[in-house]
Structure 1
Amino acid sequence: MSNVVLMLSAIVLPLFGALVISRLDRTPNVREVVTLLVSTGLLIVVIALYNQLLDAAPQRIVLAEPFKGITIAFAINHLGMMFALIASSLWLVTSIYASGYMRAHHETHQTRFYALFAIAISAVMAIAFADNLFTLFLFYEILTLSTYPLVTHSGNDKAKRSGRIYLGILMGSSIGLFLPGMLIVWHFTGTLEFQTGGIIAGHVPMHWIAPLYALFIFGIGKAAVMPMHKWLPAAMVAPTPVSALLHAVAVVKAGVFAILKVTLLIFGPETLVESGATHWLIWFPMLTILFGSLIAMTRDNLKERLAYSTISQLSYIVLGAMLANSMGLLGSAMHIAMHAFAKISLFFAAGAILVTAHKTKVSELSGLGRKMPFTFTVFLIGTLSIIGLPPFGGMWSKWYLALGTLDFSGPEGTRWALLITLMVSSLLNIAYLAIIPVKAFFGRLPEDSDTGIKEAPLPILIGLAIPAVVCVYLFFYPEPFYALAKAATLVL
């Protein structure tokens, strides 16, 4: 089967699944079996694409040309392949987890949830394989619109208010900043096609490059670089599987993936270094890393604390892109994968705690680890990977990012500030994340606590176990993500 057919199948299969799922409201068991079958099928297709990327020359397909010279086109490349592998594998894991969570938590509108989730994954596949900036922008917006009903799933006033923040910031930033940035690129270059090494060199005046790059950094609001971050904690009103979609599978990863792709294939690392564009812009992700961690320490709500942790961790990826050197770019690409598996472990654990112990605050978790040892062990594994300690996959991406700071082309003082920021942030990770399993295992269980607390239902535990195992596996065998990241960032 050609990689064009496989690529289109990866985009269309979740849409077909959403259509079938939407007709199965009266047969929930069949609905969830179909969800699992479609998500499994997508993973098989993506793995087949990965194998073809290694063995055959990639092919490009143009679906439409809505404007002269501007196409809706798809092609396979190494960075997109990595994103597709992450999203497809975690959709399957999330589907397993959701089949237990949505029922155990007695969520309403479950059929709508599964159908919209599938539509969002289809948009993610299109983003992963987008062959130009216009196609990327188009499906970036579709992803925002398809996830809005998931954020407002419960339908109460708080959810509606959070949904307005979510839609307002993401649509406002993309239309107000991302779109103008894209139009300026088109004006100067006459193309929006992705190209190795970028397309703006020799076309855009050097003094334009920094403000133009800033339009993309802040216009791609899903990357949550401060001050474009408020939508992420607001969206935590959604059910836990949606939080997993936002933080690990799709939305935020689509944001940082888009920034990395724009850095590599529109601007080009050499052009950014030559222009000095990132010498002052890099302070925004650096401060986001620190402030996100500091704010996380103040949050007692567990999901909100994890949300600010995500804001901080996303800026590791943005910072790596702005380093514009081989080690920084490699670390940035790898952190997309490493953070995805670690953070989904943390959110799945938070959901298990909510379902069985009905606890949402960090201050309520003391001693709970002795009632739910498996759940809090998974939380500990995800935490240690986020911190970047061996033997967990998060160590590798942070290692390359640290090496990248030492090779940064900016002032020497900035280099040291960047390295210190990464080190301090890891210590803050310990302070706001590691304290949770420590309190759970060694703290005193309140005397009035529910003695009937136990582990979550089996589908939830299976969903918990898989990403936790992957966090360990990726330390010993970071392939294929390392090979894809290395090829995508042209590390020699």
Structure 2
Amino acid sequence: MSIRPLLAIAIAGLASGLVLYLRDRVGPRDLVSPVASVVLFALVASMAPRVLSGGTYELVLFEVLPGVDFAFRVDALGMVFATISSLLWIFASIYTIGYMHSLGEHAQTRFYICFAASLAAAIGGAFAANLFTLVIFYEVLSLVTYPLVYHHEDNEAWDGSRKYLVYLMGASKSALLAAIALTYHLAGTLDFVPGGLLAGVEAAPVLLTVVYFCYLFGFAKAALMPLHAWLPAAMVAPTPVSALLHAVAVVKMGVFCVLRVVFDVFGTGLMDALGLAIATAYLASFTILTASIYALTRDDLKARLAYSTVSQLSYIILGAVLFSPVAMVGGIIHIAAHAFSKITLFFCAGSIYCATGKRKISEMGGIGRQLPWTMAAFFVGSLGMIGVPPAGGFVSKWYLAWGSVEGGQFVFLVVLLVSSILNAAYFLPVSYIAFFGKEAEGESRVREIPLVTVPLVATGILSLLMGIFPGYFITLAEEVVR
């Protein structure tokens, strides 16, 4: 038993409360999140040595039903999610201060409260020991991020936030609750079990298949098509929220939940026997390619990044269901590779908007000469998404491609190669236009904002460092699939 998992959640939760307490003192209020993020990351890092060596931290708070506890367990898969969430919160909190003040955004206290609460929910989900605890934090995350999506309080924000809530809460209230109820009925418990909670259960294959797809579509944050439309709609939110949604908390919670179902609820053996693995692989492949084509047609930079996220999330799911150990490692480490690169790209989109007010790629001719650090970081983040060495995305895509070959699944190798070409087709023109495009006549010169620029440069460097030194995440991933 260890209180560390609860402390990790409490740090972000207390930060949310402290922001409310200091709402009339702007300076101290703004410092709460950066300080709390550093403390949280230090606590998460302190648990890494034991987890890397195969150990866990466990804490049971109370029993809800026989076989159902409100409990936490820090294991290798949870540590992957918690590490990127706590580390990137440091840079996101600094970036947010610069972004919100430079644009004079309203309701900043509410924004900071919900921002910190969302990290508490993400950490709670990462350290959940069973389906009950996981779903509680999954739902809390949906609720506390809703005000962030609705932040601008205009008609566009209302439409986007309504779709966000309907997709995420509607899906989980129906399909997800049905799946959990059926799982408890079949197994008598909701605890995660290596090899699969349902692996030894005697039940009709049709029933188990229904339960699986209820989970798959119930965890709508994973953005598998056709349950993806909430993600582009949520781009009405301020850019720090977009970065939070796409890189740190919300979508990562979705794919994390799907991985929990694959590895710890069904298990690879049962998935394979029911034919669920290959069905999921084809669904993920369809999402990868279709979302990439959508991204290619979008002129709005945040919309292009949004569809890129829809595509990239399915790499993670594809790796998990190929059932080659190498591919599964690739899928897990792509959680981190995507996080570092995508948060950099969204930070850059926000920097461009803060400096120029521009959203459309076609209007960004020559801005790379005025915002060199921003666009250099954007180029680095793009390399990670495409999978060009030495960026982290190369490592995860290499493992995914290797695993496809190892498992004899050459059709998925083709999917990976085609999608990487599409990645290049919709990312590289942005950098080309920025550095070599013609500037519009009569526009005033702009400059980069330090509190906005420094975090995006730092996360760009992190995306490179992960590609050069991927050992930490590879070790955790290998521990998961062992």
TM-score of the superposition, structure 2-length normalised?
Answer: 0.97
The answer to whether the 8 Å contact 2:52/2:476 transfers is no
Deviation per residue, 1:456-481 (Å, 9 max, x gap): x1111111111101111111111211
What letter is aligned with 1:315?
S
Q: Residue in 2 aligned with 1:205?
A: 204
Which of 424, 429, 437 aligns to 2:431? It is 437
Q: Residue in 1 aligned with 2:329?
A: 330
Compared CA separation, residues 202 and 337, structure 1 to 2 (3 A): same
Deviation at 1:56, TM superposition (A): 8.7
Alpha-carbon distance between aligned partners in 2 of 1:76 and 1:174, rounded to the nearest angstrom: 24
Percent sequence identity over aligned pairs:
42
What letter is aligned with 2:279?
W
Q: Residue in 2 aligned with 1:463?
A: 455
The answer to whether the 8 Å contact 1:210/1:278 transfers is no
- Is 2:382 aligned against 1:383? yes
Alpha-carbon distance between aligned partners in 2 of 1:202 and 1:351, rounded to the nearest angstrom: 49
Q: Residue in 1 aligned with 2:221?
A: 222
Which of 16, 23, 26 aligns to 1:25? It is 23
Q: Residue in 2 aligned with 1:108?
A: 106
Q: Residue in 2 aligned with 1:477?
A: 469
Deviation at 1:236, TM superposition (A): 0.4
Alpha-carbon distance between aligned partners in 2 of 1:57 and 1:244, rounded to the nearest angstrom: 32
What letter is aligned with 1:6?
R
The answer to whether the 8 Å contact 1:151/1:162 transfers is yes
The answer to whether the 8 Å contact 1:79/1:484 transfers is yes
What letter is aligned with 1:328?
A
What letter is aligned with 1:447?
E
Deviation at 1:268, TM superposition (A): 0.7
Compared CA separation, residues 56 and 188, structure 1 to 2 (3 A): closer
Could you tell me which runs of 5 or more consecutive residues in structure 2 were left unpaired when the two chains were aligned.
none
Deviation per residue, 1:378-425 (Å, 9 max, x gap): 0000000100010111101111111222344xxx6xx23211111111
Give the 3-state SS of the residue equivalent to 2:28 in structure 1.
helix
Alpha-carbon distance between aligned partners in 2 of 1:66 and 1:255, rounded to the nearest angstrom: 24
- Give runs of aligned pairs for residues 358-437 of structure 1, distance below 5 A: 358-408=357-407, 415-437=409-431
Alpha-carbon distance between aligned partners in 2 of 1:228 and 1:72, rounded to the nearest angstrom: 29
Q: Residue in 2 aligned with 1:302?
A: 301
Q: Residue in 2 aligned with 1:251?
A: 250
Deviates more, 1:64-73 or 1:380-389: 64-73
- Give runs of aligned pairs for residues 118-137 of structure 1, distance below 5 A: 118-137=116-135
Q: Residue in 1 aligned with 2:480?
A: 488
Q: Residue in 1 aligned with 2:187?
A: 189
Deviation per residue, 1:275-322 (Å, 9 max, x gap): 222222322111100110000111111101100000000011111122
Alpha-carbon distance between aligned partners in 1 of 2:213 and 2:414, rounded to the nearest angstrom: 24
The answer to whether the 8 Å contact 2:239/2:346 transfers is yes
Give the 3-state SS of the residue equivalent to 2:59 in structure 1.
strand
Which of 446, 465, 471 aligns to 1:453? It is 446
The answer to whether the 8 Å contact 1:300/1:361 transfers is yes
What letter is aligned with 1:463?
P
Q: Residue in 2 aligned with 1:14?
A: 12
Alpha-carbon distance between aligned partners in 1 of 2:339 and 2:196, rounded to the nearest angstrom: 27
The answer to whether the 8 Å contact 2:10/2:120 transfers is yes
Deviation at 1:330, TM superposition (A): 0.6
Deviation at 1:55, TM superposition (A): 6.5
- Is 2:293 aligned against 1:283? no
What letter is aligned with 1:293?
S
Alpha-carbon distance between aligned partners in 1 of 2:415 and 2:62, rounded to the nearest angstrom: 45
Could you tell me which runs of 5 or more consecutive residues in structure 1 were left unpaired when the two chains were aligned.
none
Alpha-carbon distance between aligned partners in 2 of 1:67 and 1:5, rounded to the nearest angstrom: 22
What letter is aligned with 1:485?
A
Deviates more, 1:49-58 or 1:426-435: 49-58
Alpha-carbon distance between aligned partners in 2 of 1:84 and 1:444, rounded to the nearest angstrom: 43
Alpha-carbon distance between aligned partners in 1 of 2:256 and 2:191, rounded to the nearest angstrom: 16
The answer to whether the 8 Å contact 2:55/2:75 transfers is no
The answer to whether the 8 Å contact 2:247/2:343 transfers is yes
TM-score of the superposition, structure 1-length normalised?
Answer: 0.95
